[in-house]
Structure 1
Amino acid sequence: MACHQAGQLPEAEQGYRAILAQQPGHPDALHNLGILALQVGEMAVALNLLKTVLEHYPQHAQFWLSYLQALIQADQIDTARQVLAQGRELGLQGEAVDALAAQLAVSEEVAIAAAEAEALNDVPADETMAATANLTQTEAAPAGDGPEPADVPADSPDHAVLLPEQAGAEPEAISDADLATPDTQDSTPADHDHADALTAAPSRVADPDPASASGWTFTPLPDSHAELAACHDEQALADSPPPSADDGPGHLAQGEAALIRQHYTDAWRALQQACRCLPEHAPAWLRLAQASYGLGRLDEAERHFRQALALDAGLTAAHSGLLLLGQHHSSLNADSAAQQHRALGEALEQRWPSAATHAAAPQPGRGLRVGFVAASLYDHPHAHVLLPLWQALASGSLEVLAYNDSPVQDAITTRLRAACAGWRDIYGQDDDSLLAQIQADQVDILIDLSGHLPGNRLEVFARQAAPLQVSWLGYPDSSGLSRMHWRLTDAFIDPPGVETRYSEQLWRLPDSAWCYQPLWHVLQQRPSSDYAVCATPALHRGYVTFGASQHAACLGPEVIALWAQVLHAVPDSRLLLELDGLEAGDGPLHVALTTQFVERGIGAHRLQLVARTPGRQAVRAHDMDIALDSFPVSAGLASCELLWMGVPLVTLPGPRAASRSGASLLSTLGYPQWIAHSKVDYVRIAKTLASDLARLNRIRLGLRVEMESSPLRQAQRFAEQMETALHSMWDGRQTG
């Protein structure tokens, strides 16, 4: 920041990039880099960066002002008008905003005059725009202090975007402690709130001085597709030029960016090309395997994971990928799966024979400090559990710290950040640094939410980063680590007798392994009426629509065969599938699914295949009469949204935990009659529900009321059970 203020732009750029290398998506570094790009005339780059940081941190008034000023400077008047209107709807106000509005009005008037003059050949447009610049500088009001934030109730959708008290009228660089170096950056909410307050206008940065820059020019962002992936800026990705055919790193970065956005078709295509260009590069094969998995191409994914391991036998993520694939093989028995998980866990722990050492007890005067390591702290099914839990725990004896391992941030991320006592953005941080960070934070209990899912941090847990380590929520099986001490579950997912399958001890929560909170009001994407329970659509359509909204990998041949039987059993019924990977209507997933159903006698006209859209699953439920769960991997938490919208669920649990989450939800909700005990029973339950539309409609209209009164929606009760479990685990460790 000091370099930026002094006009030392190369050094400033280097500093901002160093922060982003450690903390991709760091809001202030992205913002200041955007300001720097604006100062040196890299308008497209500046607009991309400033738009990105505003989209992910709309609570910062300065980010609105910076983006608006950049749009005006770029003569994007219509867009600036729309952004200003949107900001004002969300509470953006103050003298600085009024000054920008006045500047925008002048720019609009002069643009109209310029167009008219050019048409009449009276006044050259460039002379008119030069006059505009002078007029704008003369008439725009000076920067000033804005009013106090509006008093918005905590449960209002606008609460997440309350704006700061003051802000400057023109784009400025954020200063103070927010741009501490990565080694000293403290990301606790207290410090973050200090950044948000902006109670005094930040120091102005110096205008660029070409002489002092010694011939330096700003390196335009994105200078690699990887930085775009870190920014999660879809518009920038769309606008960036595609890599050349032989640009292996470019295709790899493009594929990784698409994976982050869960655009699996785009990722698969880019990564195939990356592997052609980089056949000896194990990470390229790993990413291609993950893209293939996202499209449900499981045999292909296995080949690619094994190719990655042939090139790098120590690539833990590829070993984890094979374990994840094993969840989808019904032929793999539970004992064999357990042996595979333990073997990988032992191999990881052998790399660090001595576990990290820790203090025997928390420091006097503080409660247990519980850290959650997650790559799902955004609009993701996990957030529906974590947000109500963390909010309820805030009044208890546990201190919650979040370690956010994703570049994706949205309105839900903002709420999650506010609900915990400490927050660390760790995406892109290496395992050694993360281990040191967790130890420096003095975490007592560390909870893993990823297991063997892509992007996991099991190598950190293998070193025993905290005295007590717990697995929960994300992965439906064992970590395989002896240093993962407990697994949080329930008696429906892990009934008595399965203990030998786990390296962890099992702690069965009394009601359910989860609670659930709808989050449509946080996303603010649609009016609340769209989330009201409506009559079952078959009443006015004349046919029943079965539906599923989940991961394509869950739709193996056995599932498709059984769903085809259901469609045959209910004449003229339809099937609506909402899946990641269906972005392209002619993509490989679309073609594969249509082909498999047609081969089983189900015409394409009975299928509706749509791309899964974040924040819209509940709305999609209006088109479904009955939800079908998959096996041997259940849809899990994704089913909660459909049940809350009144859609009954048919599920078929098997012997392994991955298949039993639907049964857990229905048992907790009080509908065990929708749990099938065989494939024949599955078809029978679906046919019975579809045969009486009046009864189906009564179920639909009453299901939300029943869910609201069930343990699934009692966050405080769930938090108390979680708190009891963690304290008991800790006490057992101390006495054991």
Structure 2
Amino acid sequence: MNVPYDERQHLRTAVQRQPADFIAWVMLADAELGAGDLDAGERAALRALQLRRDHPEALARLGRARWMQGRHEEAANLLRHASRQVPRHPGIALWLGHALEDAGQPEAAADAYRRAHALLPDEAYVAAQRLNWQRRLCDWRGLEALSQQVRGAVAQGNPAVEPFAFLSEDASAAEQLACARQRAQVIAASTPRLPPPGPRRQGPLRVGFLSNGFGAHPTGLLTVALFEQLRANAGLQVHLFALNGDDGSRIRQRLQAAAHALHAVAGMPHAAIARRIRETGIDILFDLRGWGGGGTPEVLAMRPAPLQVNWLAYPGTSGAPWIDYVLADAFVLPPALEPAFSETVLRLPRAFQPSDNTRVVEAPPARGECGLPGCDGNGGGVVFCCFNNSYKLNPRSVARMLEVLRGVPGSVLWLLSGPGLADERLREVARSQGIDPSRLVFMPKLPHPQYLARYRHADLFLDTHPYNAHTTASDALWAGCPVLTTPGRSFAARVAGSLNHHLGLDEMNVADDAAFIATAVRLGNDPAARAALRARLASARDTAGVFDMAGFARDFAALVQDLVGRQAHAGQH
């Protein structure tokens, strides 16, 4: 919820004048939480509870505050208590679903979303939340009808659909633009801009990066080696604005050491984060979260930096008037896709995605310890893998993976274990399609080095569509496991293809599902062909430039310096 600043001020004045006005305190709690001021939102919710002890509306606001503070178990308990009092309140059921997700109760979260949708069957936001969570649980009941409802809402101009969740729908890039633009318009209308910045400070270029992934998170894993290389560039200063707290990880320590400054802004109000960025004198700000969960588009909407760029974490257009550029490459964002992007397109001469090329791929546990079959010496025991998150495993992607298993006797499909009953549901899908469910092997979520080591047992990564492997594709390729993909018609459907293309492995980018199945079956039944492919990947990893972070840093710095230089030149005329 986005509440204009002057409305928050009005509510603050109202509770000062009438401190016993319960409704005003509840509304103020909403407004403060919507502005990212968690402490003020908590105080307002607690004051409302003092006025009306155990009232469900006040309990719900305190639960929402606890959820936003990361106190998920407390949030779930508060919201569950509120929901029991008013079981037909769809908003409270919805917030309960959010809290239960993060409290590790995935099936209960699904029940809460279904209840909210039953109470508000025509509300697009609720339908989209239910759809997104059912995808995560691999619960495909009524999936097509939900997807059509959500896509229909976007087509009708409804701004309620979250752009990140919409990436999982088989929608066009133009539909994705509409979804993002509609959401951005709501935020732009309720967010005040900062005054224009003053003259640029003398000295090195100050490059800012805003993310909630500065730690043991895909964003941190992808960027840390690049930031270490950029540190050597005397013409740049790297400033990281961390929306997440310190997770104590080795990645966080490396990020802290690589940056000229790591600004801890977790839990700060949006306006305070924007002021910090402005006061730091950032010349160009990269949004490394976009519409993903935990991002703060409101901060970017305040225009804290003179140039703002969408890069890396959100694989699509921001649709936002406050984002000037998107950073991509010619494969992932070809000219034909440009009309579906609100930003001006910038392209690196290499794959747009960096990665940590300092990682060592350790030896994995024995195959048996991983639940995998042994090698029989005759090509049996082939391991196909897909360690993408469960929401990418839609009916189409899973059906073609099962067809590959059918064509390669004795092979298995190694998947990342999903939340709740997701694994059991996928086994049931296999059984219904005539595949022994024991041929699906599930890997629990592991610390990154242990997960990376498992790729040594995998023969071929089978990608998903329309939402590709992104960080996961980079992990697989770095660890020596080839990736087979079908590049599609959106940014999110072309990331794995970009990595293959820039590695010189274009034959692993196939046209359609039939070619996908045929290629995987051919490789699965031909040990010599698999060995030759792995050898080519090993060579390309060292020579093709995808994993050359020193070269990436040079290209990135040159692009940034040219961009800021052109901006400064334009400002003089």
TM-score (norm 2): 0.74
Within 5 Å, give how 1:207-246 maps onto structure 2. 230=69, 246=81
Aligned partner of 2:165 among 314, 325, 338: 325
Within 5 Å, give how 1:210-359 maps onto structure 2. 230=69, 246=81, 248=83, 259=101, 263=104, 265=106, 268=109, 291-296=133-138, 318-319=160-161, 321=162, 323-330=163-170, 332-352=171-191, 355-359=193-197
Amino acid paired to 1:382: T
- Structure 1 residues without counterparts, runs of 5 or longer: 1-20, 25-222, 522-526
Structure 1 Cα separation of the partners of residues 76 and 315 of structure 2:
40
Amino acid paired to 2:414: L
Partner of 2:212: 375
Distance 1:295 1:326, change over 3 A: same
Distance 1:279 1:415, change over 3 A: farther
Partner of 2:438: 605
Give 1:291 deviation, angstroms: 4.3
Give 1:404 deviation, angstroms: 1.4
Aligned partner of 1:515 among 321, 339, 354: 354
Partner of 2:287: 448
Post-superposition Cα deviations, 1:281-329, rounded to whole Å, max 9, x if no partner, equal: 999999777644533558679969999xx9xxx997x53x2x3333223
Give 1:425 deviation, angstroms: 2.5
Structure 1 Cα separation of the partners of residues 319 and 166 of structure 2:
14
Distance 1:664 1:304, change over 3 A: closer
Backbone CA RMSD of aligned residues: 4.2
Partner of 2:224: 387
Aligned partner of 1:563 among 389, 396, 401: 401
Distance 1:491 1:592, change over 3 A: same
Give 1:375 deviation, angstroms: 1.5
Contact 1:23 1:427 (8 Å CA) reproduced: no
Partner of 2:520: 686
SS in structure 2 of the partner of residue 479 of structure 1: coil
Give 1:686 deviation, angstroms: 0.6
Amino acid paired to 1:497: A
Partner of 2:301: 462
Contact 2:96 2:109 (8 Å CA) reproduced: no
Give 1:593 deviation, angstroms: 1.6
Within 5 Å, give how 1:308-707 maps onto structure 2. 318-319=160-161, 321=162, 323-330=163-170, 332-352=171-191, 355-364=193-202, 366-396=203-233, 397-407=235-245, 409-411=247-249, 412-517=251-356, 528-530=362-364, 538=375, 542-581=380-419, 584=420, 587=421, 589-615=422-448, 616-700=450-534, 703-707=537-541
Post-superposition Cα deviations, 1:551-601, rounded to whole Å, max 9, x if no partner, equal: 2111111111211221222223211111442xx5xx2x1232222222222
SS in structure 2 of the partner of residue 721 of structure 1: helix
Amino acid paired to 1:595: E
Amino acid paired to 1:574: V
Distance 1:428 1:626, change over 3 A: same
Amino acid paired to 1:422: A
Give 1:622 deviation, angstroms: 3.4
Structure 1 Cα separation of the partners of residues 38 and 538 of structure 2:
41
SS in structure 1 of the partner of residue 315 of structure 2: coil
How high is the sequence identity, in percent, across the aligned residues?
A: 23
Post-superposition Cα deviations, 1:238-284, rounded to whole Å, max 9, x if no partner, equal: 9x9977963559999986566558x47267268559969x9999999
Distance 1:678 1:529, change over 3 A: closer
Partner of 1:161: none
SS in structure 1 of the partner of residue 336 of structure 2: coil
Structure 2 Cα separation of the partners of residues 432 and 378 of structure 1:
24
SS in structure 2 of the partner of residue 498 of structure 1: helix
Partner of 1:730: 564
SS in structure 2 of the partner of residue 446 of structure 1: strand
Distance 1:454 1:679, change over 3 A: same
- Structure 2 residues without counterparts, runs of 5 or longer: 1-35, 40-61, 85-91, 368-372
Structure 1 Cα separation of the partners of residues 404 and 324 of structure 2:
42
Partner of 1:173: none
Amino acid paired to 2:429: Q
Within 5 Å, give how 1:708-727 maps onto structure 2. 708-727=542-561
Contact 2:197 2:305 (8 Å CA) reproduced: no
Distance 1:224 1:455, change over 3 A: closer
Amino acid paired to 1:728: D
Distance 1:225 1:501, change over 3 A: closer
Structure 2 Cα separation of the partners of residues 730 and 709 of structure 1:
31
Partner of 1:196: none
Distance 1:596 1:517, change over 3 A: same
Contact 1:302 1:325 (8 Å CA) reproduced: no
SS in structure 1 of the partner of residue 201 of structure 2: coil
Structure 2 Cα separation of the partners of residues 22 and 338 of structure 1:
29
Contact 2:380 2:411 (8 Å CA) reproduced: no
Contact 1:635 1:661 (8 Å CA) reproduced: yes
Give 1:733 deviation, angstroms: 2.0
Structure 2 Cα separation of the partners of residues 288 and 260 of structure 1:
15
Deviates more, 1:566-575 or 1:332-341: 332-341
Distance 1:579 1:660, change over 3 A: farther
Distance 1:284 1:614, change over 3 A: farther
Question: Larger Rg: 1 or 2?
Answer: 1
SS in structure 2 of the partner of residue 246 of structure 1: helix
SS in structure 1 of the partner of residue 416 of structure 2: strand
Structure 1 Cα separation of the partners of residues 180 and 126 of structure 2:
24
Structure 1 Cα separation of the partners of residues 115 and 398 of structure 2:
32
Deviates more, 1:710-719 or 1:248-257: 248-257
Structure 2 Cα separation of the partners of residues 558 and 231 of structure 1:
35
Post-superposition Cα deviations, 1:351-376, rounded to whole Å, max 9, x if no partner, equal: 35x74333354212x22211111111
Amino acid paired to 1:440: E
SS in structure 1 of the partner of residue 546 of structure 2: helix
Post-superposition Cα deviations, 1:392-444, rounded to whole Å, max 9, x if no partner, equal: 11111221111212246132112212211122223322222222222222222
SS in structure 1 of the partner of residue 335 of structure 2: coil
TM-score (norm 1): 0.59
Contact 2:63 2:78 (8 Å CA) reproduced: no
Structure 2 Cα separation of the partners of residues 404 and 454 of structure 1:
14
Contact 2:138 2:425 (8 Å CA) reproduced: no
Distance 1:562 1:662, change over 3 A: same
Amino acid paired to 1:294: R
Count matched residues: 494
Distance 1:580 1:427, change over 3 A: farther
Structure 2 Cα separation of the partners of residues 285 and 440 of structure 1:
41
